[in-house]
Structure 1
């Protein structure tokens, strides 16, 4: 019976780079990749590991923390103002917006806590560290937006039946202050944080934008009531704001769940990755391809490359690593190279 001799060769260049990364990075990361190859077929194996350099700073750096901290201070101050103002003016729009701001303050604080957890070093039982805590925080923030929107709609329903008199002038003044504060918080997050690619920061940012919408709604409702004494405008606009909040929250929840289910990153087409690897000279097949997101800005990949018998394994491995980083921004990849053997008309793979 034909037998293949297992060969375990490490990709020295990446191994040296990994050692340098562990020496210089302030956050230590342990990456354990366990592969069970108790296949009934025989294999020749080359294992290549390409690890991201400096991934400890990819999404929870000081700018993100600073932006969230400033936004938290602004939000907490306006929260008190709108709550007291809502009680004094009898405005559901202001009260609902203050409730939303309470959730915002909690979400901003949670996002900061998540960043602190994510910065903790990896442990033997958590080889990727605590990166996923940021995704859990984003999921929680999205869920709280749903609860707040539901509360606003419920209160609006009762006010539709019997619209109360609202001190529209005071309501507009307080809402205007709240709007300016929310816009300031949003500006700080955009300027100081990674709103675009960090789902944790973006979920907090959406909370702040929801507050801004609530303030705009309160100003509009106050203006209508001031001019026309049409007090039902308060619950109507509150519902409209709640629906906008729900739309934003749904997007965050869907993305967070997708990451937790280890789905392929929305920015990457797995079939396109496979075809790109097949273009490398000497690669005959790509299988067991898995691509997932650990946390925002940190994607991982594992796959097996079946190469021709006379191919240079290490050259192919280096080309694959370079291609993944250059074209797909994947810096953390584990690639196993397998060499096929053809003897007596039977292919052993």
Structure 2
């Protein structure tokens, strides 16, 4: 027995309602990504190139997020796609994390190589472009802040913009140091710091996406507590084959077998159990199977899953 309302559309709206802000941030950062890439080539700055590279992953990640949100909101659950395309959001977030990790690793390796003989860079235009990039990231940061609490995809874009904020600050610091002291090591040094700042955030995002893909229980739910709460429902003698996992952002799902006491009200137990999962644990979609605790014959015994 499943919950009787459209959980899929409710989950899809977690990302869809922030789509306008995501589009605005996408356009803004796309523009400044091009500006920074051109400026990095002109000035010879690795720090500025790292900022442009990071901004590239922002733009690409937001593009994937927009595509995933659009696909999920319009996907039909008919035919073989019984849950629609909601996992597209999680796949996009994982790809985003991989891209972040790759760019950060490249910047760190290239910066270490430059320590041997740091090239001269044009610091003044580097400052101007970095300040403009910082302002663009501040605007994008506030555009995505609210949505980051509700959608894994928006959260990925938000984390990238947050990292890019620090990247822009680092580039400004490097440019000022070079302008005042001609200490060219500031450029690769800041690039290393920025790369090391990005890496753990890429890991955290990838880990969150992988937890969803391997159908691990949500980190905020203790399965033993869920089982104990369901056992406390009047008429329930036992709970087994309990599974709880995340389908996509804002959509926790569960399935379980409930062994009922002899005089239990079948419909009341199912309704109470689903209400418990929804109200106490925010599990909106629950598929529950009820069975007698003492079956009349062996054929009525539920043997459960083999995994």
Pairwise same-fold verdict (TM > 0.5):
yes
Q: How far did residue 197 of structure 1 move?
A: 2.9
Q: How far did residue 51 of structure 1 move?
A: 4.0
Q: 1:326 aligns with which of 276, 279, 282?
A: 279
8 Å CA contact retained: 2:12, 2:72: no
Query: Structure 2: which 5+ runs fail to align?
Result: 303-307
Q: How far did residue 52 of structure 1 move?
A: 4.2
8 Å CA contact retained: 1:51, 1:333: no
Matched, 1:219 2:172: yes
Q: How far did residue 54 of structure 1 move?
A: 5.3
Cα distance in 2 for residues equivalent to 1:218 and 1:72: 22
Query: Structure 1: which 5+ runs fail to align?
Result: 1-47
Q: How far did residue 62 of structure 1 move?
A: 4.4
Q: Does the residue aligned with 2:247 lie in a helix, a strand or coil?
A: strand
Matched, 1:91 2:39: no
Instruction: State how 1:1-349 maps to structure 2 within 5 Å.
Output: 48-53=1-6, 55-60=8-13, 62-119=16-73, 120-191=75-146, 194-341=147-294
8 Å CA contact retained: 1:51, 1:331: no
Cα distance in 2 for residues equivalent to 1:231 and 1:276: 63
Cα pair distance change 1:52/1:229, threshold 3 Å: farther
- Give the count of matched residue pairs: 298
Q: Does the residue aligned with 1:122 lie in a helix, a strand or coil?
A: coil
Q: Does the residue aligned with 2:149 lie in a helix, a strand or coil?
A: coil
Cα distance in 2 for residues equivalent to 1:152 and 1:270: 42
Q: How far did residue 123 of structure 1 move?
A: 2.9
Cα distance in 2 for residues equivalent to 1:260 and 1:51: 25
Q: How far did residue 57 of structure 1 move?
A: 3.8
Cα distance in 2 for residues equivalent to 1:285 and 1:217: 58
Question: TM-score normalised to the size of structure 1?
Answer: 0.82
Cα distance in 2 for residues equivalent to 1:342 and 1:105: 59
8 Å CA contact retained: 2:7, 2:285: no
Cα deviation 1:221-254 (Å, max 9, x = unaligned): 1122222221111111111111111111100100
Cα pair distance change 1:348/1:207, threshold 3 Å: closer
Q: Does the residue aligned with 1:58 lie in a helix, a strand or coil?
A: helix
Cα distance in 1 for residues equivalent to 2:27 and 2:296: 71
Q: Does the residue aligned with 2:291 lie in a helix, a strand or coil?
A: strand
8 Å CA contact retained: 2:8, 2:83: no
Q: Does the residue aligned with 2:85 lie in a helix, a strand or coil?
A: coil
Cα distance in 2 for residues equivalent to 1:325 and 1:239: 46
| CA radius of gyration, larger in | 1
Cα distance in 2 for residues equivalent to 1:348 and 1:96: 62
Q: How far did residue 291 of structure 1 move?
A: 0.5
